[in-house]
Amino acid sequence: MDQIIVQGGGELHGEIPITGAKNACLTLMPATLLTDQPLTLTNAPRLSDIQTMTALLQSLGAEVASMQDGHVLAMSSHNLTSQMADYEIVRRMRASILVLGPLLARFGTATVSLPGGCAIGARPVDLHLKALEAMGASLDLRDGYVHARAPSGGLKGARIDFPLVSVGATENALMAATLARGTTVLTNAAREPEIVDLAECLRRMGAQIEGEATGTITIQGVQTLSGATHPVVTDRIELGTYMLLPAICGGEVECLGGRMDLIAAFGEKLDEAGVAVSQTERGIKVSRKNGRVRAVDVVTEPFPGFPTDLQAQMMALMCTADGVSVLEERIFENRFMHAPELMRMGAKIEVQGGHATVTGVEKLRGAPVMATDLRASISLILAALAAEGETVVSRVYHLDRGYERVVRKLRGVGANLKRIKEAHPDE
């Protein structure tokens, strides 16, 4: 199993290109199931999760071709052979549930395995299912599968009031509603940039959608959708992660393609901590203002709040901040599993339920640590870059799900690290 060995110390300087968003691309890819015409995605990231979604779509009979070094995905669902998403593929990634709405809307039937994914909480799919039931679908959960069927004449428009904000449920309902008869209104809908990006893509395909950035989305169903070409939005989580590099290590890094509107709440916290963040013509430039950063409190919330997917990375920064910070996780339970590993490096952290209290220390120390999930992996690497001595991070296969060519990008700004064991030619 792969490891990443990091030699800590030293400022980081240079540029890092930010790729297309993993979470957006994983949502856009199932949209091909809504039409028999080609859908092409540009600015796609090269990640293992994208490969998993590709395998899932191909298992349904969709054609998926990867071009331009994997950054363009050409897809077609003109001749699907199945409406069943098998457990052996779905268990590898939670986003697989996003084929349910499109299959049901276009074909009137779908059988999809209940998903697997990261060990960061239960993350149930009940909101997905209730939304589809509101549009008239009959659902039968048996043998680990969702067996769904639309009424004769197809799904029908409905008012769907989400009891809590759910990105995945919003995405599934939004795609299904594009082909439903009549008008669908989603209230308390997620407003993440990935939702906005999906709506923009669906409109390019001929969907009638309004209000995707407001929390209330109105969809007027159409009979058919057409093909389109759509650029995947910038990955705000990769952006925020690499913005932390000079904050933790010192120096100055420019994140090419970065946009402050994607990361405003996070940028405000960095400014409060004493980190200079500025929009440039090419992206976002980041550096420390004056020496050691200050401790700040963080509460994770749905967009436009502080992203849960940047909580672990922010904790790494707070480990060496001046003062005491409290990080409150409101999105997922079990999302402080990186804390014990950071403590192995000398961090002072106390976890009680959904709160973590971090007392900053002047220096972390290199140590052997183990990643527990995707964001925990990169948080340990960030901490290791600022630590004294050598850190060995194990179970880094998680990284391949969400960070493209991470070792190469970090080396490009002066980081001293290497990946060992299994060969990875992209590094």
125 a known binding residue? yes
348 a known binding residue? no
Single-letter residue type at 128:
H
Distance from C-alpha of 330 to C-alpha of 345, rounded to nearest angstrom: 26
98 a known binding residue? no
Distance from C-alpha of 118 to C-alpha of 123, rounded to nearest angstrom: 10
23 a known binding residue? yes
239 a known binding residue? no
- 319 tagged catalytic: no
Distance from C-alpha of 328 to C-alpha of 166, rounded to nearest angstrom: 19
Sheet holding 39-42, edge to edge: 63-67, 72-76, 39-42, 228-231
Q: Checking DSSP bridges between strand 159-161 and strand 145-149, what pairing results, if any? A: unpaired
* DSSP letters spanning 222-238: -S----EEEEPPB-HHH
Q: Is 157 left (phi over 0), alpha (psi -120 to 50) or beta?
A: beta
The residue from 118, 201, 249, 255 that is catalytic is 118
Q: What is the DSSP secondary structure assignment for residue 353, as one 8-state letter?
A: T
123 a known binding residue? yes
Measured N-to-C along each axis, helices 311-318 and 374-386 cross at an angle, to the nearest 10 degrees, of 20
Spell out the long-range contacts of 200-209 with Cβ–Cβ below 8 A and sequence spacing 24 or more.
200/230, 201/28, 201/31, 201/39, 201/228, 201/230, 202/31, 202/34, 202/174, 202/175, 202/178, 204/228, 204/229, 204/230, 205/31, 205/34, 205/35, 205/39, 205/178, 207/178, 208/178, 209/174, 209/178
127 a known binding residue? yes
18 a known binding residue? no
22 a known binding residue? yes
- Feature table: binding site for UDP-N-acetyl-alpha-D-glucosamine: 94, 123-127, 309, 331
Catalytic annotation, residues: 118
Binding site: what residues are annotated? 22-23, 94, 123-127, 309, 331
